[in-house]
Structure 1
Amino acid sequence: MTISSDIANTIVDPRAYADGDRVDQAFAQLRKEQPLDVAQPEGFDPFWVVTRHADILEVERQNELFHNGDRSTVLTTIDADKKVREMMGGSPHLVRSLVQMDNPDHMAYRRLTQGSFVPQNLRVLETRIREIAKGFIDRMIEKGEECDFARDVAFLYPLHVIMEVIGVPESDEPRMLKLTQELFGSADPDLNRTGSDIQDTDAGVDTIQSVVMDFMMYFNAMTEDRRANPRQDLASVIANGQINGQPLGHLEAMSYYIIAATAGHDTTSSTTAAALWAMAENPDQFKKVAADQSLIPGLIEESIRWATPVKHFMRTATDDAELAGKKIAKGDWLFLSYPSGNRDEAVFDKPFEFRVDRTPNKHVAFGYGAHVCLGQHLARMEMRILWEEFFKRVASVEMNGTPKRMAASFVCGPKSVPIRFKLH
């Protein structure tokens, strides 16, 4: 039995993710009644919807059986897929980053920068990141007792950190933020390049492609500079890196920059903004952390679970397989719903409650297995330092208006979190 068209249409609708509750209810119903079944919304190829925590882990664990790169790694319509393949000489991908790669390429390309993101090598950044965090708390306080925490702090702080790591000058940060929001917010009229609600497939693909081209022009110039004048930054690693004794291909190098310059801050921003939104609505949880800062790591893990900024990735079966008692055929497409896995009642007690002391908290927001998020340790470190500085100075927060989420079915988080706060 296939998933009802109502639910299928909800889980592909960017506006349902802006609403939050609507998509949560759809996945809760699927977990209960059809935890692994096929959806076929109008205009899409059929795909399996993987809603349970255990099944998501099972797919992520088997990288040879479930590939990232054979079809689009992000859910896309039949028409958009056709247009991308026409543009890209048959490839279903506008970019080719780690996310779109399978082994052996995935491991080879990941190894290039992996050392930059392991905890022992990140420790050298701690003092600098703390300076940056303090600066943003200062700026927030200078605004008086109210601000838009998403726009004034959460968007800008992780952006500044990752741009320093890459080697992008501070003067170009607004441009990088705008391009990131245009890319991930392509379905949101407030954020996309056209300022309108794009319904037309050609216009949608063209809009995303134009953002990708702007990123590529920027990073192409940076590559030339770093080849001539290498520095101690990530851009120099990518520009001068080699895979199997050869420089990175142009598409692969540009894609590497793009994923670092977008996912490298946007998901952390979304999680930070969502955490404050949740604490403003659950003042008892704010008070717990304020009274006992050893709860900050728990706050971070719960906010990552709560926000789950990456809503899905797609996988393609390379062979006939069985998953949760269902027969998956070679070539089938699977939609891994991370927010659903992170609300799975079989794994999380009262999953719709925000609890800073939740333990254990085995969320799947960073993925699992070979494709686990490369920047997860940096993200946790940034959030830990920000909250340490925040709780030193802020005594209470409350909502000061209506918070809003962006409309996006792939990467989605708050776009506005207006708050009022009091200092110690």
Structure 2
Amino acid sequence: MVVNLKDASLFAGNAFWPVLAWLREHDPVHRHPEPDGPGFWALTRHEDILKVYADHETFSSRYGMRLDSNAAAVTAVSQRMLIVSDPPDHTQLKRVLSKSFGPTEMPRIEHLVRQSVRDVIRDAVEREELDFLDAAKRIPNYVVCALMDLPRDDWEWIGEITTQAFEGADEETRSAAHGDIFLYFIEILAGRRKRPGDDFISRVAHDKRGGDLPGEERPLSDEEIIFNCNGVLAGANETTRYSASGAILALVEHPDQWDRLVDGGDQVTSTAVEEILRWTTPGVHALRTVMRATRFGGVRFDVGDRVTLWNISANRDEAIFDQPDRFLVDRSPNRHITFGSGRHLCLGARLARLELAVFLDELREQVGRIELVGDPVYNASNFTWGLRRLPVRLHARKHSVADPSLSSA
């Protein structure tokens, strides 16, 4: 088996599944060569990946979270941006940032999500056909921009520049997009420090995190806020966009599961959300750097070694999931690691689950049938992966005239 997990065509062609399956069975702790680098370790089994996620002292996040990261850019944000930090900074940053996505905030957020999703699905149904990615990307982008109280005229640009920052064709494009986002938030933050509101940025700007000494507290720095606004934008946009569009394709390809979703109603929603997250796994891999020599899976990891955790492989691990290559909306239990695990469990996991649950509710309510009208196209990325194009037609559901909710007052 030829293994090249850095080959973009492997992901653009949706041809990586047999490679990951072979690695899980034959070489789960794989030494992956690089023609232009020192190589890296690739872990593909669910159990092994969980062990690394749980051991932040041996496996650090501060030196980058993906292959092909720009080392200088990572150094600039390390220990100040949540996804490239280790405790204690990671703990302190997450404590502040997570407040805006906590249980007490969800009723307010749910109202916003329901309105956004309802409008997006209604507009999609009214069109004869569309690329569903155009609809899917609006849902998380509208929600996170509203939570940050960003100017409405900027929302479309925010969605586009965020995608460029994390999925641009080359490092120059990605770096330029990150720079544009940072400059944008510098101006926004200055205004919120002077005139705070009840939005995410204002709250973070006026909260405090732990300092360097026991019992010490300090406000977050401008850099900490700006870098993490960038991270929140990415996390909010990428997962829901890819998962929602992936859900549409999965339901087209598995019509029995569409029927099960419709017939099961709310009772199936929660399991369907988890299965969609497992099935799509937008965050393909995560990177860790070895901080102390250790033995793992019968081999030695040396200080400085890079270890990649292939979440997308773990979510199809035969040792964990019964019939892992089947899409089952009522799958239970479902121990997927789409949002990572441990301390680095995704900050926006609760929000993404809510968005997907409401998305399924609105599909059931408004859509009678989903028709594929062109070939799906996948993006060429081994980091954030999913559909890049999905031409569909959403046929409106024909409600019964006897339905009291649709009767005139």
**TM-score under structure 1 length normalisation:** 0.88
Please state whether the residue corresponding to 2:309 is helix, strand or coil: strand
Please state whether the residue corresponding to 2:353 is helix, strand or coil: helix
Looking at structure 1, the residues matched to 357 and 126 of structure 2 have their Cα atoms a distance apart, in angstroms, of: 22
Q: Per-residue deviation at 1:94?
A: 8.2
Q: Does 1:210 align with 2:194?
A: no
Pairing of 1:2-13 with structure 2 (within 5 A)? 6-7=2-3, 9=4, 11-13=5-7
Looking at structure 1, the residues matched to 290 and 79 of structure 2 have their Cα atoms a distance apart, in angstroms, of: 21
- Per mean C-alpha deviation after superposition, the further-off stretch among 344-353 and 218-227 is 344-353
Looking at structure 2, the residues matched to 332 and 391 of structure 1 have their Cα atoms a distance apart, in angstroms, of: 48
Match of 1:396 among 365, 369, 373: 369
Match of 1:385 among 358, 369, 374: 358
Match of 1:51 among 44, 66, 77: 44
Looking at structure 2, the residues matched to 214 and 94 of structure 1 have their Cα atoms a distance apart, in angstroms, of: 19
Contact 1:242/1:248 (<8 A) preserved: yes
Please state whether the residue corresponding to 1:397 is helix, strand or coil: strand
Q: Per-residue deviation at 1:131?
A: 1.6
Looking at structure 2, the residues matched to 256 and 57 of structure 1 have their Cα atoms a distance apart, in angstroms, of: 25
Structure 2 partner of 1:137: 121
Please state whether the residue corresponding to 1:349 is helix, strand or coil: coil
In 2 relative to 1, CA 207–95 (structure 1 residues): closer, same or farther, beyond 3 Å? farther
Q: Does 1:159 align with 2:141?
A: yes
Looking at structure 2, the residues matched to 356 and 347 of structure 1 have their Cα atoms a distance apart, in angstroms, of: 17
Q: Per-residue deviation at 1:221?
A: 0.4
Match of 1:123 among 80, 100, 107: 107
Looking at structure 2, the residues matched to 335 and 262 of structure 1 have their Cα atoms a distance apart, in angstroms, of: 20
Contact 1:281/1:398 (<8 A) preserved: no
Q: Does 1:149 align with 2:132?
A: yes
| Unaligned segments of structure 1, at least 5 residues | 188-203
Q: Quote the RMSD (CA, aligned, Å).
A: 1.8
Letter in 2 for 1:273: S
Please state whether the residue corresponding to 2:371 is helix, strand or coil: strand
Q: Per-residue deviation at 1:61?
A: 0.9
Q: Deviations over 1:201-239 (max 9, x none)?
A: xxx333222111100111000000000110101111233
Q: Does 1:64 align with 2:57?
A: yes
Looking at structure 2, the residues matched to 205 and 277 of structure 1 have their Cα atoms a distance apart, in angstroms, of: 30
Structure 1 partner of 2:31: 38
Contact 1:317/1:328 (<8 A) preserved: yes
State percent identity of aligned pairs.
29
Structure 1 partner of 2:402: none
Looking at structure 2, the residues matched to 277 and 291 of structure 1 have their Cα atoms a distance apart, in angstroms, of: 19
Letter in 2 for 1:148: D
In 2 relative to 1, CA 257–54 (structure 1 residues): closer, same or farther, beyond 3 Å? same
| Unaligned segments of structure 2, at least 5 residues | 212-216, 398-409
Pairing of 1:325-404 with structure 2 (within 5 A)? 325-404=298-377
**TM-score under structure 2 length normalisation:** 0.91
Match of 1:412 among 385, 388, 408: 385
Please state whether the residue corresponding to 2:180 is helix, strand or coil: helix
Equivalenced residue count is 390
Looking at structure 2, the residues matched to 96 and 412 of structure 1 have their Cα atoms a distance apart, in angstroms, of: 26
Looking at structure 2, the residues matched to 93 and 28 of structure 1 have their Cα atoms a distance apart, in angstroms, of: 35
Please state whether the residue corresponding to 1:159 is helix, strand or coil: helix
Q: Per-residue deviation at 1:107?
A: 0.3
Please state whether the residue corresponding to 2:16 is helix, strand or coil: helix
Letter in 2 for 1:15: S
In 2 relative to 1, CA 246–119 (structure 1 residues): closer, same or farther, beyond 3 Å? closer
Looking at structure 1, the residues matched to 335 and 98 of structure 2 have their Cα atoms a distance apart, in angstroms, of: 23
Looking at structure 1, the residues matched to 188 and 205 of structure 2 have their Cα atoms a distance apart, in angstroms, of: 8
Contact 1:298/1:357 (<8 A) preserved: yes
